[in-house]
Amino acid sequence: MPDTGGSAKGDFGSPRGDPIEAVLTQAPELPPPTKRDYPAKVVVHLEVKEVVLPIADGVDYTFWTFGGQVPGKFIRVRQGDTVELHLQNHPDNKMPHNIDLHAVTGPGGGATSTFTAPGHESQFTFKALNQGLFVYHCATAPVGMHIANGMYGLIFVEPPEGLPPVDHEYYVMQGDFYTVGKYRAKGLQPFDMQKAIEENATYVVFNGSEDSLVGEKALKAKVGETIRLFIGNGGPNLVSSFHVIGEIFDRVYQEGGTRYQENVQTTLVPAGGSAIVEYKIEVPGTYILVDHSIFRAFNKGALGMMKVEGEERKDIYSGKEVDSDYLADKAAPSQAVAKAAEKMKEGELTGDLQIAAGKTLFQGTCSTCHQANGEGIEGVFPPLAKSDFLMADKGRSIEIVLNGLEGSVVVNGKPYHSVMPPMSQLNDDEIANILTYVRNSWGNQGEVVSPAEVQAVREKTARPPGAAK
């Protein structure tokens, strides 16, 4: 492979032709290739907007964004281009902001030239000397807080000859978020500076929300196609171990640079760094994008999907489709959880809404052992369907979910000697919904369980050692 020469070879002279207004896109889409063979002047208009958007079902967060969404809009230029960047700070915003692009050669990467108060605009110009995939972010003090609120995006400086064509290019950027409430605690969640300093993330998500790449919003492809993912990591704190379950990366341009490595399972994406990943798809089905620091995927939101249609290839893979057990409630996303959260906020939560939300949550949390139909597995997992033990005592059933159960228990005349782990990582409203569903399904009939009842049990009982609070 030829030496690209870094910045020394990246100056192709003065920009030629008329200035070009850059096409900017929101994730997961990318602007088209520049398809240019000369250096141009490219004008970029980015507007900072402070917006309230969902980070999870029923959970809102005040994001600070480059362009109205997290991550910021994707910028695509060619090596040697001269970029004239205009940063607007929307008049409704509360904070000053600026931009530091890692693609810039020059102190501060643009930050010192672009400090912008609400209602103002600033601009600066740079020549993109190095090719590669670069992060940009806000660098206004307190810098960590601006990045933690979602102020980052990607700029791709194409090599002069462009990249080889592929069937799909997608933009995926990871970020960690810190909220006062625990994971999925409902309502508008404020930023938690202390948790951010301690690097104790509440959420780790792709593209600004744990629902951004699941269900209807999954990335799409067909068997036989080649995919190129432009992966970024905004941080502020965590390094990503990016992995696609069921795929092997044919090529990885490590850290967004020029050289590629081949046949990679998991690639590191540093905070404030990137990677370009390519793979051809042979087998149809659902592929799961994760940060393989795996609690982040299943307990903090770092999980996305790529749905691939096409002919089965039993010679390559004989297995079954999506394993709904490990995918939890994301296997079949429903609006039920969001709806219940919304009505709870308005004080209009009904038993029916709780049952619907509880059903979704049960699939993810309890059905692995107690089975989707609540029948359990004889001798191993006791039934919840028509369980005399469950229905005899509502308070006790709350306690079991919160604190687990060990030792001997007799359900419908049959003994069980096993262990159920505590599920106290669930919120009060989630446990209330699950138990309302369980106590009103498969022939069971009982009253609703309210979040207040769960909270009361949480307060008056002790968690077993090692359980989540």
Q: Which residues bind ligand HEC (CB under 6 A)?
A: 365-366, 368-370, 381-384, 387, 389-390, 397, 400-401, 405-407, 409, 411, 416-421, 423, 434, 438
Pick what 390 binds: ligand HEC, Cu ion, none; C-beta below 5 to 8 Å, kind-dependent: ligand HEC
Report the candidate in 177, 211, 205 with the shortest Cα–Cα distance to residue 191: 177
Pick what 146 binds: ligand HEC, Cu ion, none; C-beta below 5 to 8 Å, kind-dependent: Cu ion
- Which residues sit opposite 169 in a β-bridge? 228
Report the candidate in 65, 273, 295, 135 with the shortest Cα–Cα distance to residue 203: 295
Pick what 103 binds: Cu ion, ligand HEC, none; C-beta below 5 to 8 Å, kind-dependent: none
Write out the DSSP string of 94-117. Answer: -S-B--EETT--SGGGGGGG--B-
Q: What's the min distance (Å) between Cβ of 439 and ligand HEC?
A: 9
Q: Which CB atom, from 70 or from 405, has the smaller least distance to ligand HEC?
A: 405
Quote the tokens at residue 292.
């393989």
Question: Within 10 A of 22 (CB to CB), how many other CB atoms are there?
Answer: 23
Quote the tokens at residue 362.
């049960």
Report the candidate in 177, 204, 206 with the shortest Cα–Cα distance to residue 193: 177
Ranges within 84-103 binding Cu ion (CB under 5 A): 97
Pick what 140 binds: ligand HEC, Cu ion, none; C-beta below 5 to 8 Å, kind-dependent: Cu ion
Strand order in the sheet with 132-137: 75-78, 152-158, 132-137, 100-101
**Contact by Cβ (8 Å): 398, 452:** no
Question: Within 10 A of 104 (CB to CB), how many other CB atoms are there?
Answer: 25
Q: Which CB atom, from 64 or from 242, has the smaller least distance to Cu ion?
A: 64
Region from 34-42, 145-153, 185-193, 236-244 binding Cu ion, contact rule CB under 5 A: 145-153
Pick what 406 binds: Cu ion, ligand HEC, none; C-beta below 5 to 8 Å, kind-dependent: ligand HEC
Site for Cu ion (CB under 5 A): which residue of 101, 138, 281, 303? 138
Q: What's the min distance (Å) between Cβ of 368 and ligand HEC?
A: 5
Q: Which CB atom, from 140 or from 354, has the smaller least distance to Cu ion?
A: 140
Q: What's the min distance (Å) between Cβ of 97 and Cu ion?
A: 3
Q: How far, CA to CA in Å, does 195 sit from each of 198, 456, 466?
A: 5, 26, 20
Q: What's the min distance (Å) between Cβ of 431 and ligand HEC?
A: 7
Contact call for residue 359 and Cu ion (CB under 5 A): no
Q: What's the min distance (Å) between Cβ of 91 and Cu ion?
A: 15
Q: What's the min distance (Å) between Cβ of 343 and ligand HEC?
A: 21
**Phi, psi for residue 417 in degrees, rounded to 5:** -125, 85
Q: What's the min distance (Å) between Cβ of 29 and Cu ion?
A: 24
Site for Cu ion (CB under 5 A): which residue of 42, 83, 151, 435? 151
- Report CA dihedral (122, 140, 213, 224) to the nearest 10 degrees: 70
Pick what 97 binds: ligand HEC, Cu ion, none; C-beta below 5 to 8 Å, kind-dependent: Cu ion
**Contact by Cβ (8 Å): 210, 74:** no
User: Given the rule CB under 5 A, which residues bind Cu ion?
Assistant: 97, 138, 140, 146, 151
